[in-house]
Every structure is written in C-alpha cells, then in structure tokens.
Structure 1
Amino acid sequence: MSEKLSTALSVAQKQINQMLTMQDAMNSRVSESWRSNGYEWYRAIWVECAEMLDHHGRKWWKHQEIDIAQVQLELVDIFHFGLSLRLMTGDSVDYISSKLAKELHQGTGENDFKIALENLASAAVTKKSFDAKALADCMSLMNMDLDELFRQYVGKNTLNFFRQDHGYKEGSYIKIWHGEEDNEVLANLVKTLDTGADDFQQQLYAALEAKYPSA
C-alpha cells in the first residue's frame, strides 16, 4: 500500500469513526434500545433509492434535469441507514470504520448511475445489507467525495437531533420554516459556517435554533 493511499484511508477511517459515533448517539436519542427494536434499516435504504431515482430522472418519455444537490442529500440519508446496519453487526467501531473506509475508496467502477443505484437497492432487498461499494459508485458519479459526505452527514445529523429536540417524534415539529423546508435551511446555513471548526456541530445547532419558526 502506498503512503498516499495509507494516509487517505487513515483520514477516511477517522471521519467514518466519528460518523458511526454520531449515528449511535442519534439512534439512541430516538430509542435507547434501538439495537434490539428490530428496525428495518435495509428497507429504509431501498425506499430512499427509489426516491433518489426521481431526483436523478427515470422517465425517458420526458425531459428531466438531474437534481445533484437532492441526490447527494439522499445518498447522505442512505449512509445514515447503512451505518446503523453495520453497527447492528456488533463489530467494534474501529473495525467497521476500517472496513468502510476501504469499501468506499474502492467502489466497483460502475459508470452508470442507475445501475449503481440498483446494486445498492438490490443488496438491501435481497441480502438486507448495506453495499458501501455501490454507494461509493453513486457518490463518484455525483461528484461527491468522502469529505463532502462527511460535511453533509454532520449537517444532517445535527438537523436530526434538532428535529428530535423539537417534537419530531411527537408530531409537533415544524418542517417548513418561513416558506422553506428545513433541509433547504440547513444547506444554506452550512455554507455560512466553517465546517472544519471543532465546534461546527454546536454552531450549526445554534444557527438552526435561531432560524426555527417557533424560536
């Protein structure tokens, strides 16, 4: 293994390790017993794949533009579910992050987005598993590297915590903020903050709090 590749995998593993920790915290926020609740994470993956195809375009009988930003957001959502599935194996966070770093770096080289997406959905349907290599193919074809995945994941994870803290599970959460969906508000706020800051997540949460309609 070259020194450059070794360094890249080390950085990737550190980022994935952090995301696994954040995912465990988010799942525990929803339910402390999430590992034994029988949640169908695999089903959430293939449903997201179907939704993503609409944003990418599947209707050959009409003109469609690829909504890259929305497709990337769906990929981030899928990664949340994929991390949860991997955590369900009972393996250590370090082992999972090391394995995912390699799979996300490798991909399979598939150059047709729809096929790559179908591979991702197929693994979820037939094996109830998360195909990280297929996700890597989808990311590559949408100009999304691991740094961008990490940036968007931290943002969405923070929004998910914010939702839970403001009545999402109880049904009282407000999703449209002054005419914009909260995902859009999130995307705009992230652009104004330093994603490399140690307290980025805390800054983002405070910014969401300031923008929330009921605040």
Structure 2
Amino acid sequence: MVLDMAGTTIRDDGLVEAAVSIAVDRVEPGRVVSEADFVQARGKPKRDLFDVLFPNDEAASAAALEFFEGAMLDAATRGPARAVAGAEDAIRDLKLRGSKVVLTTGFNDAIARALVRTEGWTDLVDAVVTPGVDVRGRPYPDMILTALMRTHASDVRRVAVCGDTVSDLEAGNRSGAGFVAGVLNGAHSRDRLETANNTALLDSVSALPDALLQHPGSA
C-alpha cells in the first residue's frame, strides 16, 4: 500500500500554504501566491512550485525552497497530531491483512519523518519514501517503484496507490500499480481527479480497506 501523506493520511490544515507564503515573502516581501499556483503544485515536489514562482532565477527559487522547508520542519516538529480521521485505523487494518504500508510525499525526508514521528507512526508504517537525487517526485512513478523495492514486493500489479491529487494518480498509473485510488477530502476535486485514470474515488483513505475487498485481484 503506497499512501500519500498531506491531504490523504495527514490533514494539511493550511500548513503548506502558510509555509509557501512565508518562503515567498522572505524572498520577495509583499508578494501574494495565488490559489491557482497552490493547486497546480499539489502532489509535486515543492521545488517545482518555486521554480514556477521564480522563473529564470535559480538563486531565488533555491532560497524560497530553503525557507519553505525550514517553516514546514518547524510546524511538523511542534505541531499536534493531525491525522485524517480514520487514517490510522485504515493503516492498522491493512497491516492486519498482511499488507506493507509505505508513505510517500513531495516533502523532503526530514519533514516527512518529523510528521511521522508527530503522528506516532514510526513503528506503524514500513517505509517513508521522498524525492531525492535518484528518486523523482510525482507524477513520475519513482517513489512507488522505490516502495516496491524497499518492501521486497514481487509484483507491481499487487501495489495499491492512494492519494488526493492528479499527480498521485498519474504516478500510480505510470508505475503499473493494480489499484489506483483518489480521495475526495484533499487538495483536488472530483472533477480534477476524474481527469486521471483511477480504480476508485473514495470519500477518504478510511474507505480504502473496504474498497480493496471489492477488487481482490488488484492489491
């Protein structure tokens, strides 16, 4: 099971938008980031967002990313538990069925692991995969395929992917995963999620275990 973090298993509560706004303001005081920019960046590495916001200015983009990651790490470290309702129960249910559960995200490794520690999920999930030098972020399939290797799974068709953005679904489709689900309580609307091929659109990740029972051959 490859599950997205922010918007799927962990509530965002505006943390990402706040951190982006802080970062952009530090680089270009007074600048406001549009909602359209946030929506386009959802599910993708945040470096891509800052490259768009500061085109042809690598130094400004890199500085904004550094400020963003500092703000997010601070929020992730000191913030209260903010799991999506039913997410932990769903993960435990999947684990009881013998599944490996891997979390993926566009955040860097330090932020991702801080969020997992804050939730108390360090011993619950089997791995956390983030973009890196040899692992491209969504919509590329790299994180899903890395999860496959880290858990020693033998068949990508037995992988289930669940996320709240079109990028999550595109990555799942490109990986060859047998079950690719979107959740409707995150960043992207049903209309946006329906633009990508999917096995199911769920109210939230809490519905994932039951949805998988209806597709026993896919995951």
State the TM bucket, normalised to the shorter chain: under 0.3
Return the TM-score normalized by structure 2: 0.27
Return the TM-score normalized by structure 1: 0.27
Hey, which of these two has a bigger chunk of helix by percent?
1
Hey, which of these two has a bigger chunk of strand by percent?
2
